[in-house]
């Protein structure tokens, strides 16, 4: 069997989701591919803690050398699916999520990334009731482009070392972004994204290298908004424009609204 898990990128809600707020996570191409032979997961990763160790193995890592796109979560999904394929129900992602959280030591991940990678599209994940809702891109006149920076932050270590950060400041711009998304109000959505990024900067949750990148990106008159994605905004950044972006700023383009995934696939 070949099993494919899409990459993911946080659109908005990183950090806030750890405090029980919702998040929007983009599930997109390229896919991580798994099969009976290949690379085994790290023994201390959630996938490595699953027993027995006869899980599917990584065959293709299309984003090698890039963090933040969900490779380790994809490994867990593939391993868990292989062990539980014969007893799956319609909402099997919930069982997978519970197992992931149980085995994810240290720390307590939100599960937003795993949920999005399984169900696909743009997922609105609510950690309070552990629900995930799948959406298409709602803005016909707004385009997004996701780029990888080449910088890698160890997310788990970073989160464990966070202390005395007032994540509640993210709630207002997050809700503005979510409301704009659900109402298909492009102006409110863009303002929410901008304000969310501003608060991340205020909280020192944007790495300097990303700040420097975005300062240059925002000089392009096409760009309506831009922000780093994930831990410290280090691994990737997302750019919003009214038309297809005509430059790459010197970074590798990973995904656009045209490369949303359908979630996990197997054959």
Q: For residues 183, 188, 189 and 193, what is the CA-based torsion angle, rounded to 10 degrees?
A: -150
CB-neighbour burial class of residue 94 (10 A; exposed 0-12, middle 13-18, buried 19+): middle
Which tokens belong to 72?
A: 């380790």
- 143-259 has which fold? Alpha-Beta Plaits (3.30.70)
What's the pLDDT score for residue 86?
81
pLDDT digits (tens, 9 = 90+) for 77-136: 988 898 888 888 888 999 999 999 888 766 678 999 999 999 999 999 999 998 999 999
pTM score, two decimals? 0.92
92-103 and 112-119 helices cross at what angle (nearest 10)? 150
Same fold, 3-136 and 143-259: no
Average pLDDT for residues 44-67, to the nearest whole number? 66
- 3-136 has which fold? Ribosomal Protein S5; domain 2 (3.30.230)
Which tokens belong to 142?
A: 């707004």
What's the pLDDT score for residue 155?
65
Q: How far is CA 115 from each of CA 76, 121, 148, 179, 210, rounded to the nearest angstrom?
A: 12, 11, 22, 21, 26
pLDDT digits (tens, 9 = 90+) for 171-190: 999 999 999 999 999 999 99
Is the pLDDT at 53 greater than 60? The verdict is: no
Average pLDDT for residues 62-86, to the nearest whole number? 81
Rg of the chain over Cα atoms, rounded to whole angstroms, equals: 18
Cβ neighbours of 220 (radius 10 Å): 14
pLDDT digits (tens, 9 = 90+) for 133-168: 999 999 999 999 999 998 877 766 676 677 888 999
Domain range list for the chain = 3-136, 143-259
CA distance 80 to 10: 23
What's the pLDDT score for residue 152?
79
């Amino acid at each position: 069997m070949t099993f494919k898990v899409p990459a993911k990128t946080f659109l908005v809600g990183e950090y806030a989701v750890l405090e029980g707020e919702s998040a929007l996570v983009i599930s997109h191409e390229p896919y991580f591919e798994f099969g009976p032979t290949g690379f085994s997961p790290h023994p201390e990763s959630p996938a490595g803690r699953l027993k027995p160790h006869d899980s599917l193995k990584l065959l293709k890592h299309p984003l090698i050398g890039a963090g933040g796109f969900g490779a380790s979560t994809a490994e867990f999904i593939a391993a868990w699916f292989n062990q539980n394929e014969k007893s799956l129900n319609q909402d099997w992602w919930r069982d997978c999520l519970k197992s992931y959280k149980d085995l994810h030591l240290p720390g307590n991940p939100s599960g937003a990334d795993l949920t999005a990678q399984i169900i696909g599209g743009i997922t609105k994940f609510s950690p309070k009731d552990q629900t995930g809702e799948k959406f298409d891109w709602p803005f016909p006149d707004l385009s997004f482009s996701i780029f990888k920076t080449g910088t890698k932050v160890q997310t788990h270590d970073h989160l464990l070392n966070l202390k005395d950060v007032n994540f509640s400041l993210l709630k207002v711009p997050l809700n503005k972004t979510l409301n704009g998304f659900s109402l298909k109000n492009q102006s409110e959505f863009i303002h929410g994204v901008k304000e969310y990024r501003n608060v991340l900067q205020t909280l020192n949750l944007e790495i300097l290298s990303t700040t420097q990148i975005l300062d240059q990106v925002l000089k392009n008159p096409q760009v309506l908004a831009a922000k780093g994605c994930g831990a410290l905004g280090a691994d990737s950044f997302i750019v919003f424009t009214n038309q297809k972006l005509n430059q790459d700023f010197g970074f590798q383009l990973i995904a656009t609204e045209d490369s949303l995934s359908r979630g996990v696939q197997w054959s």
